[in-house]
Amino acid sequence: MKVFTSLDAIAPIERWNDHGGRGVIFFRRVLEWSDFRTSIDFVDYTVIPAGSTIGRHEHHRNEEIYFIQGGYPLMVVDGQVRRMGPGSFAIVRDGGSHELINDTAEHVEILVMQVGMR
């Protein structure tokens, strides 16, 4: 189990058309389930370049928390659309769906934590 880590210690992973989205995203799995004693599945730091998206997908037996660190993406959660900005949070509940659209000229930075329902 990690006690400390940093983004500098983790190489970004390039993922194309994530969840049926468009373009490339870069994510770092900062922490994974084995780093916790609770039901947290992972914590990811993700960069979504201008024009890229994370496609609409559903969650089952887990929930996710999105924290927008930088940029102004459109988030769609269960059909509700909101322009997010730095310091904003979104929650995707068990059985819910979501997508993220970076329709801006700047990249978006997010922190995502997924918690499993055990």
Global pTM value? 0.93
Any domain includes 93: yes
Total tally of structural domains belonging to the chain: 1
Any domain includes 30: no
Any domain includes 2: no
pLDDT given at position 117: 86
Evaluate whether 96 touches 58 at the Cβ level (below 8 Å). Answer: yes
pLDDT given at position 1: 85
Question: What does the DSSP assignment read for the chain?
Answer: --S---GGGS--EEEESGGG-SSEEEEEEEEEGGG-SSSEEEEEEEEE-TT-EEEEEE-SSEEEEEEEEES--EEEETTEEEE--TT-EEEE-TT-EEEEE--SSS-EEEEEEEEE--
73: which 2 tokens?
């993406």
Owning domain of residue 96: 58-118
- Render pLDDT for 2-20 as a digit per residue (tens, 0 to 9): 899 999 999 999 999 999 9
Any domain includes 8: no
Using CA of residue 31, residue 97, residue 46, residue 65, what is the dihedral sign?
Answer: negative
pLDDT given at position 50: 98
Any domain includes 12: no
pLDDT given at position 89: 98
Any domain includes 86: yes
Question: CATH number of the domain that 77 lies in?
Answer: 2.60.120.10
Return averaged pLDDT per consecutive 10 residues of the chain, 118 residues in all.
Answer: 93 97 98 95 98 97 98 98 98 98 98 92
Any domain includes 33: no
Closest to 74 in 3D by CA, of 84, 66, 64: 84
Any domain includes 84: yes
